[in-house]
Chains A and B, each alone.
Chain A
């Protein structure tokens, strides 16, 4: 199936832990993104990579570090998790100009306890 797939779907962890979320797309897109969706449903861009290069890095704590080993993968590593990091994290991909919109992964619901 052509898609954007991200794992895990659910992640429950304690404060202070380090965790990673993985994302892969097989749509042939050259740009990938991480979005955070809070409890009010607002989608906020965190990072964007084009062909493995960082092109958007919004004001995000440096505990969040994206890594793109190739243009089909964009992973998100989070250090020293805090309660406020609890949210749904979406990976997405598009062509560079995004004229046909984004395709989203199914999301990772992160709960920090």
Chain B
């Protein structure tokens, strides 16, 4: 079982819609969770991190964490074509090891 799993997509949403990206993790004791965005040909950049159950909002982005169900999601409201990228979920597990998912490709259609 992989440490972090994401649907590779591609996920396509129309401009202005809500994009929902999901991630599950295997180590129940994991404490820190991250979402990275990676544009084609660029390096991953951190969008958000979340440690506690519930929602964390930053502008158009909302990270949601449910430790009981071992999933973390990223919602992007009012999606823009510039949001088209690969979104990587990452988790720090109980062994303090940092694992990335394989990423979900998002395309926002104008």
Contacts and interface: CB of A to CB of B under 8 A. Distances in A.
Contacts of B42: 106-107
Nearest to B31: A99
A101 B43 contact: no
Interface in A92-111: 97-107
A99 B92 contact: yes
Looking at chain B's contact residues, the main secondary structure is strand
Contacts of A42: 100, 102-103
Interface residues of A, number: 18
A43 B43 contact: no
A49 interface: no
A97 B44 contact: no
Given A101-B49, A102-B46, A107-B43, A41 B102 contact: yes
A45 interface: yes
B61 interface: no
Interface of A is mostly: loop
Interface residues of B, number: 21
Contacts of A40: 102
Nearest to B48: A101
Contacts of B32: 98-99
A42 B10 CA distance: 15
A106 B42 CA distance: 6
A47 interface: no
Interface string A69-113: 000000000000000000000100000011111111111000000
Contacts of B86: 41
Contacts of A97: 92, 96
B9 to A, nearest CB: 11
Given A42-B103, A98-B32, A98-B92, 11 more contacts: A41-B38, A43-B44, A43-B100, A90-B43, A101-B36, A101-B46, A101-B90, A102-B44, A104-B44, A104-B45, A105-B43
10 contacts: A41-B38, A42-B102, A42-B103, A43-B44, A43-B100, A98-B32, A100-B49, A101-B46, A103-B46, A107-B43
